[in-house]
Amino acid sequence: MSILKRFKDIMSSNINALLDKAEDPAKMVDQYLRDLQDDLGKVKAETAAVMAAEKRAEREAKENSEEIAKMESYAEKALLAGNEEDAKAFLAKKAALVKKQETLDEALKVASENASQMRQMHDKLEKDINELKERKEAIKAKMQVAKTKKRVSEIGSSYKDAESSLAAFDRMEEKANQMLDEANAMAELNAGSNKKDDTESLMDKYDEGKAATDAAVESDLAALKAKLGME
């Protein structure tokens, strides 16, 4: 889309209507803002140029008007001095300037209209940009809420299908608990069958290996006491 066509669309369109027609308003806001910011820079440059042309046309018309008044003044002075031919020369110059003034005034009118249109376009662009910036976050928030609501509806519609799967998981969990209880019971029974009775524990005290160990310990203890002078 050319900048001139966008200018026409911007000047004739309603931004709310454009957003209502968009499939994804949030994305359109971002894109529209980028386009408008780019266009605004170009419009500023064009507006400045047109306004400069208006000022130039205004200055040229003013200077020519002042020159007309000057020729009128000199014609009067020439007549008062008795120089009619000189007065005619000044009046002829004045007539040429008057004709030129018509052209300059028309140019000034066109330049003023152009400047007015460019300023109007510039102000419209700035207004649209500010409006979009203010509404941007609200639009995106609404879009997110709409997407979330749609997702929730989709999940809700498929929940009934998931209920049978959940029931299957319940049965699997129940079976796993039963297997764990059986394994714990088996472990408890095995632990009981491997436990030594009191007699077997008492017999360990009299095993030769333990008696020899006890004798060695007593011998080392006696030697340590003798070294420390504790006997």
pLDDT confidence of residue 1: 43
Token pair of 80 as six digits: 């008062």
125 & 212 share domain: no
Phi, psi angles (nearest 5°) of residue 178: -65, -45
CA 75/CA 187 separation, integer angstroms? 133
Do the domain assignments include residue 108? yes
Residue 129 counted as domain residue: yes
Question: Which pLDDT tens digit goes with each residue over 201-218?
Answer: 556 655 555 555 667 777
C-alpha distances out from residue 48 to 30, 42, 54, 88, Å: 27, 10, 10, 43
Residue 124 included in any domain: yes
Mean pLDDT of the chain: 76
Q: Directed axis angle between helix 84-157 and helix 3-12, to 10°?
A: 80
The range of the structural domain enclosing residue 220 comes to 200-227
Do 97 and 153 belong to one domain? yes
Q: Are residues 41 and 141 in the same domain?
A: yes
**Exposed e or buried b for every residue in 73-90, given b needs 16+ CB within 10 A?**
ebbeebeeeeeeeebeeb
Q: What is the number of structural domains in the chain?
A: 2
Q: Are residues 149 and 208 in the same domain?
A: no
Are 60 and 113 in a shared domain? Answer: yes
Indicate if 213 and 103 belong to the same structural domain: no
143, 207: one domain:
no
In the Cβ-directed half-sphere of 19, how many Cα atoms lie within 13 Å? 20
Is residue 165 assigned to a domain? Answer: no
Q: Which of these three, 157, 185, 218, is where a domain ends? A: 157
Q: Is residue 130 part of a domain?
A: yes
Based on the fold, state whether residues 40 and 144 are members of the same structural domain. Answer: yes
Residue 194, domain member (yes or no): no
The one-digit pLDDT tens for each residue of the chain (231 residues) are 455 555 555 555 555 555 565 556 667 777 777 877 887 888 788 889 889 999 999 999 999 999 999 999 999 999 999 999 999 999 999 999 999 999 999 999 999 998 888 888 888 888 878 887 877 777 777 767 766 776 766 665 655 555 555 566 567 777 777 777 777 777 777 765 555 555 655 566 555 555 556 677 778 777 777 777 776
The amino acid that residue 153 corresponds to is S
At 108, list the tokens.
């000034």
d(CA 32, CA 120): 19
Assess contact for 91 and 98: CB atoms under 8 A: no
Asked whether residue 133 falls in the same domain as residue 208, the answer is no
Same domain, 213 and 133: no
pTM more than 0.75: no
List pLDDT tens digits, range 14-62: 555 555 655 566 677 777 778 778 878 887 888 898 899 999 999 999 9
| One domain, residues 120 and 61 | yes
Q: Which residue has the tokens 């059986």?
A: 182
DSSP H helices in the chain: 3-12, 15-21, 25-80, 84-157, 159-193, 198-203, 208-227
Give a yes or no: residue 92 inside a domain.
yes
- The residue assigned the tokens 């002075």 is 77
CA gap 201, 190 in Å, rounded: 19
What is the token pair recorded at 218? 């007593």
Give yes or no: residues 113 and 207 share one domain. Answer: no
Helix (H, G, I), strand (E, B) or coil at 132: helix
